Amino acid sequence: MNKFISGLMILGLLSLTVAPSFAANIADVGENYWANKEINIVVDNDIMSLNGKQFNPEGNMTRVEFVNALLKVLSNENLNVSIENKFSDVTKATESYENILRSQQLGLVYGYPDGTFQPERTVLRSEAQSVISHITKDMNADKSILNQFKDANAVPAWAANVYAKTINYGIYVNYPDSRELRPNDNLSRAEAAVLLARLKGKLDLVKQEYIGATTVEHLAVTKKAPNNEVKVNNVERVISEGNVLAVAFEDKFKSEEHKAGDVVTFVAPENINTQEGTLVLPAGTKFVAQLNEVRDPKWFNKNARVYPQLTQIVLPSGEQVAFNAKPFTKDNSLKEGTWMTAGKLALCTVSGAAVGTGAGVGFAFIPDPTKIGTGIAIGAPVGAAVGLATGLVTKGLQYHAKSGEVVYVILLDDASVPATKAAL
């Protein structure tokens, strides 16, 4: 029994571990900057880099910069180069020489008819959209969607299908005027960050031939989990349906204070890693849940039941991910365990006894006496049987959980989580 209580104490201590946010310290991108969120995503994930502490959001995006970032989004920055260089203006001394060849090999950003690549040339907004359209899954997009934009006539004829497709996919930029596409303007670094962050969040739309290799790794949260596979590449970790995760209540919870529809937040008390050592979810990741049902306690010691459904992950960077999980219990509910019910019956039994000798009794076997009452001073247990009978017909317990109390949840669908750097 002491081992059982010690285990609970260890879980409580683990739940206090919270990682700091991974948001980068970017001197020239303020909190209210229009692309702040996306810039932090691409910087945190090493897709785009800083110069010191400067991002230069209004600077132009060059072709080679776009290639470097795109290869990282697609997990192909380490692709083995198997083609020869045919560009007249690119040599082995050219910065990002191998990435330029990787881009050509994959068919991402092509060279020009004159045999040049022009790595330092600025990317146009329409050119960036063309690349994204090219690598995403085919669809018959209705070009009439362009009519909602004031400058639809500025879209080149060759780019009409490109824009129709990427607008339908939601991977485009229309800032500062939401009704303008400005296809012939230079692509700024901030605009590139928005495109790349949106592409990163929708990798399921990318054709498989452009995505880097994936390996299968394994979680080891509990041996009872129906599945423990995680598909890993440089871009994402796909946690397979049937995996079980340990999450902790962010705040104190009392079932009598909640109703169906309420939102409850859980957190990852520590980094969730695969057995092979890959970080899947960093400590401090939040899990947003909605209560589908809250059942009150019933007579004859039937405890309250709480039915949360986890619907979203919020990473420390602020990035949000769809998630579908429920408690890993027989009926997917949370309720007080048998020890708590036994403790309540014992207290009822003892409280029914005659007091006379003034002897004090403590119940060391109850995991958390504060949930059902503190110690009771008793005398000779003459009325114990009366107390037991009374306890058997009382209502069950409410469900209470402390901040940091750990529960286990099972995934009902695969969850695709962006690759994230561990806290330093």
Q: Which of 80, 75, 176, 199 is nearest to 128 (CA)?
A: 199
Q: Where are the domains of the chain?
A: 22-210, 215-336+402-418, 338-396
Residues with Cβ within 8 Å of 3's Cβ and at least 6 positions away in sequence, in order, are none
pLDDT at residue number 422: 45
- Mean pLDDT score, 145-158: 97
> pLDDT of 300-355, one tens digit each?
879 999 999 999 999 998 989 999 999 999 999 999 976 555 555 555 554 444 43
C-beta of residue 177 within 8 angstroms of C-beta of residue 149: no
Q: What is the mean pLDDT of residues 187-216?
A: 92
User: Does residue 101 sit in helix, strand or coil?
Assistant: helix
**Residue type present at position 244:** V
pLDDT of residue 378: 41
pLDDT class for 139, splitting at 50, 70, 90? very high
- For the segment 357-381, the average pLDDT, to the nearest whole number, is 45
The band of 368, judged by pLDDT with boundaries at 50, 70 and 90, is low
Give the least confident one: 4-8, 114-118, 243-247, 384-388: 4-8
d(CA 239, CA 286): 16
User: Looking at residue 309, what is its pLDDT?
Assistant: 98
The per-residue pLDDT for 374 is 43
- pLDDT value of position 406: 97
Alpha-carbon distance of 204 to 200, in angstroms, equals 9
- pLDDT, one tens digit per residue, over 22-46 is 455 899 999 999 999 999 999 998 9
Q: What pLDDT score was predicted for residue 421? A: 54
Which residue in this structure is represented by tokens 């004031």?
150
Q: Which two tokens stand for residue 140?
A: 């018959």
In this predicted structure, the answer to whether residue 238 has a pLDDT above a threshold of 60 is yes
Dihedral angle of Cα 77, 78, 82, 85, to the nearest 10 degrees:
50
Alpha helices per DSSP H over 48-124 = 63-73, 97-106
- If pLDDT is split at 50, 70 and 90, which confidence band does 393 have? low
Sort 285 into a burial class: Cβ within 10 Å, 0-12 / 13-18 / 19+. Answer: buried
CA distances from 7 to 12, 176, 391 (A): 9, 55, 29
As a whole number, the mean pLDDT across the chain is 85
**How confident is the model at residue 178, as a pLDDT?**
95
Confidence check: pLDDT of 360 > 70: no
Q: What is the pLDDT of residue 390?
A: 52
Tens-place pLDDT, residues 248-274: 999 999 999 999 999 999 999 999 999
Q: 206 — phi, psi (to 5°)?
A: -85, 140
Taken as a whole, the chain contains a residue count of 424
Comparing 16 with 76, the larger pLDDT belongs to 76
**Residue 373 clears pLDDT 70, i.e. is over it:** no
pLDDT for 181: 97
Query: What value does the mean pLDDT take over residues 372-395?
Result: 50
Q: Alpha-carbon distance 34 to 37, whole Å?
A: 8
Q: What is the CATH number of domain 215-336+402-418?
A: 2.40.128.260
Share of the chain above pLDDT 90, in %: 68
Please state whether the peptide bond connecting residue 176 to the residue before it is cis, i.e. omega within 30 degrees of 0.
Answer: yes
Q: Tell me: the pLDDT tens digits for 50-106?
A: 999 999 999 999 999 999 999 999 989 988 898 999 999 999 999 999 999 999 999
Instruction: Look at residue 47 and tell me whether its pLDDT is greater than 80.
Output: yes
Amino acid, res. 412: L
Q: Which residues contact 409 (CB under 8 A, 6 or more apart)?
A: 244, 245, 247, 266, 287, 310, 325, 326, 327, 328
- β-strand 229-232 against 406-411: which pairing, if any? unpaired
Structure-model confidence comparison of residues 230 and 378, the more confident one = 230
DSSP notation for 315-376: -TTS-EEEEEEEESSTTS-B---HHHHHHHHHHHHHHTSPP-S-EEE--TT-S-GGGT---E
The type of residue at 130 is S
* For range 109-130, the mean pLDDT: 97
Enter the pTM of the model.
Answer: 0.54
Q: What is the pLDDT of residue 392?
A: 55
- Tens-place pLDDT, residues 175-200: 999 999 999 999 999 999 999 999 99
Distances (CA, A) of 197 to 42, 76, 170, 202, 332: 6, 16, 11, 9, 35
